[in-house]
Amino acid sequence: MNLKVTYFENIITFCNEMIQVIEIENKKIFYQFVNNLFYIKNGEKINDLYFYDNQNKEIDLTSKIEIYTNYFDLDINSKKNINTLSKVIVNTISESEKIELMKIYNKMYKSISNILKNIDLPIVINESINLEDIIKLSKINIKYTDNLLENILLVIDIERILKLNSILFFINLKQYLSKDELKELYKYAIYNNIKICLIDSQSYGVNIEYEKKLIIDSDLEEFVI
């Protein structure tokens, strides 16, 4: 997968063997690029960014990318993640388990209906409930830790299982992880075939293992290393 940015000289190529890193020292361009990505994440088409495959065919990634900026609250349990996880759980439930869960709900429904008869109000319970609704009633959450690297690796696991996005963008992540932690993240993403891209607002110099890098300095000079 490739990305042409109208205000970049170089084409950005995402592959499964290396991790693309983009370090932009020019603050205006850094903001513009990340802002454009947020538009795409939120379902809008941006003419300045053009994703395409190796046959030069456009790839529509609207609503198919994720961007992480706040590493103190990764929003692992977003509505999008939990709703998709509920569907995955439903698809793994056996027929006998489905029958058992529906029996349990029907008992709950009858009990609640009897209780509501004592309340002099026109209260209605939704009878058309499905397995996904029942799973959501369990208030399922994904457990994370106080360790940032472990949580980022969990983000990779979530993407591997739920398959929600085509690429994950991490903004200024290098401010929080050591080189060894970054290498561990890179290896894990490559092993699980998850495309990730790190975008930073400063240059960190030479590459570390598994990186390929585009540096854009404050004068908009570009360097591929």
State the pLDDT at residue 118: 87
Is pLDDT of 58 > 90?
yes
Q: Which helix (H) or strand (E) holds 83?
A: helix 79-92
Q: What is the DSSP string of 109-131?
A: HHHHHHHHTTS-S---------H
Q: Which of these ranges, 65-79, 102-116, 197-211, has the smallest mean pLDDT?
A: 102-116
Q: How confident is the model at residue 138 (pLDDT cuts 50, 70, 90)?
A: confident
pLDDT > 70 fraction of the chain, expressed in percent and rounded: 100
Question: What's the rounded Cα separation, in Å, for the pair 172 and 72?
Answer: 13
Is pLDDT of 128 > 80?
no
> Which architecture, in CATH terms, is 2-76+142-224?
3-Layer(aba) Sandwich (3.40)
Region of 63 please: left (phi>0), alpha (psi -120 to 50) or beta. Answer: left
pLDDT > 90 fraction of the chain, expressed in percent and rounded: 77
Sheet architecture: strand order including 2-5:
12-13, 2-5, 49-52
Residues ≥6 apart with Cβ < 8 Å to 114: none
Residues ≥6 apart with Cβ < 8 Å to 115: none
Q: Shortest CA distance to 112 belongs to which of 99, 101, 123?
A: 123
From residue 75, alpha-carbon distances to 65, 151, 207, 218 in Å are 15, 10, 29, 32
More confident residue, 197 or 107: 197
Q: What is the DSSP string of 25-60?
A: --HHHHHHHHHHHHHHHTT---TTEEEE-TTS-B--
Q: How many CB atoms lie within 10 A of CB 69?
A: 14
Q: Do the bridges between strand 12-13 and strand 2-5 make them parallel or antiparallel, or are there none, so unpaired?
A: antiparallel
Domain residue limits, the chain: 2-76+142-224, 80-137
Give the residue-averaged pLDDT of 137-142. Answer: 88
The conformation of residue 153, written as its DSSP 8-state character, comes to H
